[in-house]
Structure 1
Amino acid sequence: MNASTGNLILGWDVGGAHLKRAVLAPDGILLSVEMAACPLWQGLDRLDTAIAALSPAAGRSVVTMTGELTDLWPDRAAGVAGLSRALAERLGADTLIYAGRAGFVPAADAPDHPADVASANWHATAAALARMCGDGVLVDVGSTTTDIIKFAGTQVNFAGYSDAGRLETGELVYSGAARTPVMALAATLPFRGRQVPLMAEHFATTADIHRLTGDLPEGADLYPAADGGEKTREASARRLLRMVGRDLGPCAMAEAEALAAFASEVQLHRLHGALAQVLSTGGVAAEAPLVGAGVGRFLAARLAARAGRPYRDAGEVLSGAPALAAAASDCAPAVAVARLAID
């Protein structure tokens, strides 16, 4: 990087499973976007490992977080306090924490705003998009969850703010493109003329489903498979067939692929229901686009088609650099929080 390192803005999205960072020059040019696995529930040393996995960069850090939800802490307030302190120690005492509707606060003051700071990364993405592209509906399909947030007139239009509130309003759906256990998608799946109850075991994840359908993007699945095995189509088929009590060999690959295709439809149907719930409250024009983000945004594009709305890619809006658009979509909250800090 040839910009003055002291003037760079480092936007961080510190999740419970992934660490994402965007680096912006003072003039708003996006210089880099990176992501690393960060199983924060295993200890703060995992945060150190994830930071070390990123390219060296120095500058002013601004942070949005969901990592306070991990069971490393007894509750969200303790998580906000503990994680903010840990980040200030690692990123600098001048680190700012994004507190959503309350704006940015110094890391030292974040414990005074736990309800605003906790899991506010969706708000950062929607707020940045609202300023940059007018009215729309953010559909951020990550590895674990999906956020569905309206924005209009440069304002974020949400019905719930906390995780509890957003779960009730359809704005937060615990269904993602990689880490969601298949048993969480449905009680049964069709197989050989029967509706077969799924085994309540962590045999397969949505990464296996979308690998078999050919939709899983490169780099979307950073965690070990459910059985710790290979991440090949054959291994995914083997894991998915276990969910209906079957084995690959006696069953054909085509049967596993058909099972995956229907499971993908089940997931899409659930997201469509949540989108319909969010849209039913009004507040955004019928022609406003769905803006897709996250590693599972291929599902957002399909939702747009089903809802009869135009589709835009969040990375194209947030990045300003076509070469980094895909990475910016994958790590939208990190890019967004940096842009909000510059603004």
Structure 2
Amino acid sequence: MNGVHISSPVHAPTFGWDVGGAHVKVSMIDTSGALCDVAQWACPLWQGLDHLERAIDHVFTRWPDAGAAAAQHALTMTGEMVDLFADRATGVRALTRALAARLGPQTRFFAGAEGWLDAAACADQWRAVASANWLATAQWLATRVPDAVLIDIGSTTTDIIPVVGGRVVAQGANDAARLVSGELVYQGVVRTPLCGVTHQILFRDQTTNVMNEWFATTADVYRLTGELWPAHDQHPSADNGPKTEAASRVRIARMIGRDAADATETEWRRFAQRWRHEQLSTIATNLARVRVAHPALAAAPLVGAGCGRFLATALAQQDGRGYIDFAVLAGVPPANAELAEWVATCAPSVAVALLAHSGARVEAAQTA
């Protein structure tokens, strides 16, 4: 194994990074292992690496210690998937080089069973690094809840990951295989075009075809249902228009060839609930596929993460099963609602920071 274990000086904080195609999420763990702060920045990586450079600048501004030579940086990513890169290998190599150059010598990349790799090792073992953020979250979860289904519903995707007996037992090891198994559903609560949610939908008791145009996104739906936290609404709307309820009504009306004036606000809100129902149904279908593959999880709780975990709560209620919020597992006090929201939303970044810190403490104890 070519992995490199993180060795953490007692005076150095650990920063966990999840570098996606649309956001950069970063968490800070102090030397005792306590989660101190979490933040997310929009980063449309498909438009160029300069967006990543700006996100790193924001991190250094928020946490000056992140730029110190002693700072530990543990990273995972999905950003290699964007069409800025010719293929995933190129993406991993470009991102790991850029990140290591800015973050310094204590930068390591999560590679699942391969351990922690430096940027040089990532060039050959890019497959282990590519889109491994779901595995980081699930591996940390497995240390806390032996039997569970992780449901991480983000702005763009949904991960459905089985944990049995304290082990991650996902059938798919990469995005291609997870799309086949149902463990990856390419739908989220902010950026997903509504024409990707369903091709037919009910409006005023009639089934209508949906226009295959990027007229509206799921953010429009959850603005109208009141479930999308404004701080998670970081990307432009489909028409680059306002992110208001009135503008969202205009956009979802276009999906079925109508204008907002064709129905009342109540009707459009009911229509948004219908879109919610369709998306929830798709996720539920894939959750059922994962459960069938693992009979031991018949009564296991769902662990919700991501900015769309309100849908995970709804799934647990539908199934009559327990629900655990990722932030609770991470030790966030219930009274700190804002921190809990960010911790659950940025779960992979929290997980890699905690895994790295735990690994560092184990190595130090063994060396001593």
The TM-score, its normalising length taken from structure 2, stands at 0.89
- Partner of residue 26, structure 2: 21
Which of residues 274, 299, 305 in structure 2 aligns to 1:293? 305
Q: 1:90 Cα shift? A: 1.1
Q: 1:177 Cα shift? A: 0.6
- Partner of residue 53, structure 1: 58
**Count of aligned positions:** 340
Kept in 2, the 8 Å contact 1:136–1:284? The answer is: no
Which of residues 353, 356, 363 in structure 2 aligns to 1:338? 353
Task: State the alpha-carbon separation in 1 of the partners of residues 11 and 177 from structure 2.
Answer: 39
Q: 1:194 Cα shift? A: 2.3
Kept in 2, the 8 Å contact 1:11–1:338? The answer is: yes
Structure 1 runs of 4+ with >6 Å offset: none
Task: State the alpha-carbon separation in 2 of the partners of residues 321 and 76 from structure 1.
Answer: 39
Which of residues 42, 46, 69 in structure 2 aligns to 1:41? 46
Gaps of 5+ in 1: none
Task: State the alpha-carbon separation in 1 of the partners of residues 296 and 340 from structure 2.
Answer: 25
Q: How does 1:245-260 map to 2 (within 5 A)?
A: 245-260=257-272
Task: State the alpha-carbon separation in 2 of the partners of residues 106 and 183 from structure 1.
Answer: 41
Gaps of 5+ in 2: 1-8, 359-368
Give the AA of the match of 1:327: W
Give the AA of the match of 1:9: T
Which of residues 154, 158, 170 in structure 2 aligns to 1:158? 170
Task: State the alpha-carbon separation in 2 of the partners of residues 283 and 193 from structure 1.
Answer: 38
Task: State the alpha-carbon separation in 2 of the partners of residues 308 and 123 from structure 1.
Answer: 26
Kept in 1, the 8 Å contact 2:10–2:31? The answer is: no
Q: 1:159 Cα shift? A: 0.3
- Partner of residue 329, structure 1: 344
- Partner of residue 80, structure 1: 92
Give the AA of the match of 1:40: L
Which of residues 121, 125, 150 in structure 1 aligns to 2:137? 125
Q: 1:250 Cα shift? A: 2.9
Q: How does 1:190-339 map to 2 (within 5 A)?
A: 190-282=202-294, 284-322=296-334, 323=336, 324-339=339-354
Q: 1:161 Cα shift? A: 0.9
Kept in 2, the 8 Å contact 1:152–1:283? The answer is: no
Task: State the alpha-carbon separation in 1 of the partners of residues 318 and 247 from structure 2.
Answer: 31
Give the AA of the match of 1:314: F
Task: State the alpha-carbon separation in 1 of the partners of residues 333 and 348 from structure 2.
Answer: 17
- Partner of residue 182, structure 1: 194
Q: 1:251 Cα shift? A: 2.2
Kept in 2, the 8 Å contact 1:129–1:318? The answer is: no
- Partner of residue 148, structure 1: 160
State the identity as a percent: 47
